[in-house]
Amino acid sequence: MHEALLKKYELERYRAAIEAVKTACLVGEVTTDQAESFCGGYPKVDPGFVWPMKDGYPLHFVAQFSCKEIGLARPESGYLLFFYDNRHWGGSPKDLGHAVVLHQRGERELKDADLPTREVKKLFGLTTAQVRPKVYKRVGVRFRPGFSYPTLERRLIELEDEGWEEAYGEFVAEAENKIQVGGFPHPIQSDFMEDDCVKAFSIGIRKDWRLLLQLFEVGDMVWGDAGALYWFILNEDLEKGRFDRVWMVTQCG
């Protein structure tokens, strides 16, 4: 529980109500130490790894997280690798393939020479350009247990008036986690991005999807204008260690 923030926003009277709706998550913290989990850099992959593409464009590598550290893959070995295409925002089923999560044992670390180069047509096919994945600065990440809190949009907590609602909104905003696995997302725009997941795959309802990764801008990463990437996965897929139906939504200010 964020005790200092409760006191700062004078929300002690709502302690029980906030305790009732908070959800456990893992909070990623940037570290300068050597870490198995990191954002940016080059991923560790298996033999036969094929770089993910969409419409002829190579996706950008975003993060590699140790499965043992985050406890989200069975067996808890290897790594989860996150890739995304910055030309798509995840608001339409047509964006399918714009975000990929791969479970890899990580037997070798890729180098710059291993990155794919693709020739794409520009200006209605009149010119061509060589396209490669963007390589972000590597930033080590350590995870610790933490909590996340629902926005008022989810209607999980009742407050007496607009004044208390404003205080709670500020509490939630300051308690956001820039790197978070599981729990409630902290949206920059509208909440219920799970609806985009349902629409994309025509599978399940809102409660069947859960946050896999929330990633605000770290290092030299920029997602639009002070934005964030939100990755979601079906509960049943997470239980089975299946990552081929993840969906990602981009939001920014």
The least confident of 16-25, 99-108, 118-127, 231-240 is: 118-127
pLDDT digits (tens, 9 = 90+) for 43-58: 999 999 999 999 889 9
User: For residue 251, which of 206, 185, 189, 208 has the smallest C-alpha distance?
Assistant: 189
In the chain, % helix, strand, coil (3-state, to 5) comes to: 25, 30, 45
118 Cβ contact partners less than 8 Å away, ≥ 6 residues apart: 53, 56, 57, 58, 130, 131, 132
Tell me how far CA of residue 24 lies from CA of 20, 90, 119, 230, in angstroms.
11, 26, 45, 17
Query: Contact 195/207 with Cβ under 8 angstroms?
Result: no
Nearest 5°: CA angle at 203, between 73 and 92? 100
Query: pTM higher than 0.75, yes or no?
Result: yes
pLDDT digits (tens, 9 = 90+) for 133-163: 999 999 999 999 999 999 999 999 999 999 9
Task: Indicate if the pLDDT at residue 88 is higher than 80.
Answer: yes
Task: Indicate if the pLDDT at residue 20 is higher than 90.
Answer: yes
User: For residue 155, which of 195, 118, 191 has the smallest C-alpha distance?
Assistant: 191
Query: Contact 102/51 with Cβ under 8 angstroms?
Result: no
**Tokens (6 digits) for 38:** 């990191």
CATH code for position 56: 2.30.320.10
Q: What is the DSSP letter of 42?
A: -
Single-letter amino acid code for the residue at 70: I
When pLDDT is cut at 50, 70 and 90, the band that residue 73 belongs to is: low
For the chain, give the mean pLDDT.
93
Q: What is the pLDDT of residue 118?
A: 84
When pLDDT is cut at 50, 70 and 90, the band that residue 65 belongs to is: very high
String of DSSP letters for 77-111: -SEEEEEE-TT--S-SGGGTTSEEEEEE---EE--
Range of the structural domain that residue 195 is part of: 3-251
**How many domains does the chain fold into?**
1
The tokens 């070798």 sit on which residue? Answer: 108
Q: What is the pLDDT of residue 253?
A: 81
Query: Contact 212/181 with Cβ under 8 angstroms?
Result: yes
